[in-house]
């Protein structure tokens, strides 16, 4: 499926609240439109709360969470039965993992022969991980920053970095600035695991748009992602896939990490316990409304036959059309022309990118910027005419700015 096989008018009709006349939503890489079926989700959450009161957790929410977790894991390329932990954002989940890596009693390897945990990452990570690791480095955590440029040799530099003792390799499968798909993902993860390191992959810009080959050590990986972008799930549906049987003991831990043990007696000095599966990385009480929305949206994707492979085919065709239109407009491309290296959006490098974003918004064309890069993200419900019109407006705006 490349988009031609979709009943596009029918699909667009399913997004009636978002697809309004007079605007073009080229922010599919940041916040895709929600299908109309998501609108009833808060009401369903309310009805279950009214029906079950405090029993809603056992009667409705936890079974719902298990269902949604399995469906998300499958779309990420893992077994539906793998451990999945939900969080309000990816940062909370990542910090729980980091707390196990950095804690003397966290159960994580430090790297053979290392005096303290060494974390390997890149200079191309999203702001939350980048900021968190820079702050930890201020307190003496050993962070090895691997240069993300040039992109074509990034994997080689990561290979070299994990050849030395490390406790954790944390990197993105797709870089958020320019949609670069990191090469040899499975081999890189395998080398890190063979060296004794834990692996954390940020798959946010791959989830539901780029199928990933996790390679021979898939079972050992920690993978974080979320549904705010290509998943169309809205806020609050971030998740961490962790290895079955993980021995890690996060220091950042809430009471949901051992929910089943609440009825047991407290014993002074006894080790803190952790529940099975994804509960190990859990926090505390959360608003379950987002899970109702997630179920409705996943049902929507299934109803239209939009699995990850189908969504990828649509994305490749749409980003190729954007690349061709940007070339015609003479705008400097910052994203790879190779489909195998290009994920779900296209980035260009116009002068005064933030000002261009502002002026396009005034024209009803929604894009965004990260530093000097302006990003255009298509989505399955967009027409070719909208893609072309968005690029035309971009070119006109850049010319107007001189």
Q: Read off the pLDDT of residues 215-260 as tens digits, 9 standing for 90 and up.
A: 999 999 999 999 999 999 999 999 999 999 999 999 999 999 998 7
Q: Among residues 211, 245, 259, 219, which one has the least CA distance to residue 86?
A: 259
Looking at residue 6, its pLDDT comes to: 86
> Which ranges of the chain have pLDDT less than 50?
none
Q: Name beta bridge partners: 368.
A: 375
Q: What is the pLDDT of residue 263?
A: 74
> Would you state the CATH architecture of domain 40-300?
3-Layer(aba) Sandwich (3.40)
User: Among residues 102, 85, 252, which one has the least CA distance to residue 170?
Assistant: 102
> Other CB atoms closer than 10 Å to residue 81's CB: what's the count?
13
- Which residue spans of the chain are classified as CATH 3.40.640.10? 40-300
* Cα dist from 148 to 168, 174, 300, 302, whole Å: 17, 12, 37, 36
CA–CA separation, 85 and 243 (whole Å): 11
Sign of CA dihedral 324, 329, 330, 334: negative
Is the previous residue joined to 100 through a cis bond, with omega within 30 degrees of 0?
A: no
Give strand pairing partners of 198.
Answer: 168
- Per-residue pLDDT, 265: 76
Specify the pLDDT at position 109: 80
CB atoms within 10 A of CB 104: 9
Specify the pLDDT at position 3.
54
Question: Which residue spans of the chain are classified as CATH 3.90.1150.10?
Answer: 8-33+307-400
Instruction: State both tokens at 91.
Output: 């940062």
> Looking at residue 112, what is its pLDDT?
53
pLDDT digits (tens, 9 = 90+) for 70-82: 999 999 999 999 9
Pick the CATH number of 8-33+307-400 from 3.90.1150.10, 3.30.479.30, 1.10.1040.50, 3.40.47.10: 3.90.1150.10
């Amino acid at each position: 499926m490349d988009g031609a096989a979709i009943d596009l008018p029918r699909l667009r009709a399913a997004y009636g609240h978002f697809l309004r006349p007079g605007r073009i939503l080229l922010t599919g890489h940041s916040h895709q439109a929600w299908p109309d079926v998501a609108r009833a989700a808060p009401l369903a959450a309310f009805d279950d709360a009214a029906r079950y009161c405090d029993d809603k957790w056992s009667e409705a929410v936890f079974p719902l969470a298990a269902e949604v977790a399995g469906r998300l894991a499958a779309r990420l390329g893992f077994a539906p039965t793998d451990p999945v932990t939900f969080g309000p954002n990816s940062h909370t989940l990542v910090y729980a993992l980091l707390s196990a890596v950095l804690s003397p009693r966290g159960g994580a390897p430090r790297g053979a022969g290392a005096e303290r945990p060494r974390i390997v990452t890149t200079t191309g990570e999203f702001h939350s991980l980048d900021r968190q690791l820079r702050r930890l480095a201020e307190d003496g955590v050993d962070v090895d920053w691997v240069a993300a440029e040039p992109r074509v040799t990034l994997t080689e530099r990561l290979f070299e970095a994990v050849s030395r003792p490390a406790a954790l390799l944390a990197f993105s499968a797709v870089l958020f600035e320019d949609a670069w798909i990191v090469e040899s993902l499975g081999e890189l993860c395998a080398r890190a695991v063979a060296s004794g390191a834990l692996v954390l992959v940020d798959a946010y810009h791959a989830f539901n748009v780029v199928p990933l080959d996790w390679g021979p050590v898939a079972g050992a990986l920690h993978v974080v992602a979320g549904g705010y972008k290509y998943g169309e799930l809205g806020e609050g549906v971030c998740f961490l896939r962790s290895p079955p049987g993980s021995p890690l003991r996060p220091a950042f831990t809430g009471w949901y990490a051992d929910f089943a043990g609440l009825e047991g007696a407290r014993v002074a000095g006894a080790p803190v316990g952790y529940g099975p599966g994804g509960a190990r990385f859990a926090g505390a009480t959360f608003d379950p409304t987002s899970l109702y929305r997630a179920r409705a949206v996943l049902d929507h994707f299934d109803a239209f036959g939009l699995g990850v492979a189908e969504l990828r085919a649509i994305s490749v065709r749409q980003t190729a059309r954007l690349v061709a239109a940007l070339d015609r407009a003479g705008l400097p491309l910052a994203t790879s022309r190779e489909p195998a290296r290009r994920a779900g959006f296209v980035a260009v490098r116009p002068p005064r990118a933030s000002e261009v974003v502002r002026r396009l918004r005034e024209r009803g064309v929604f894009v965004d910027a990260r530093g000097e890069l302006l990003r255009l993200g298509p989505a399955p419900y967009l027409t070719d005419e909208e893609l072309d019109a968005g690029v035309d407006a971009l070119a006109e705006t850049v010319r107007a700015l001189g």
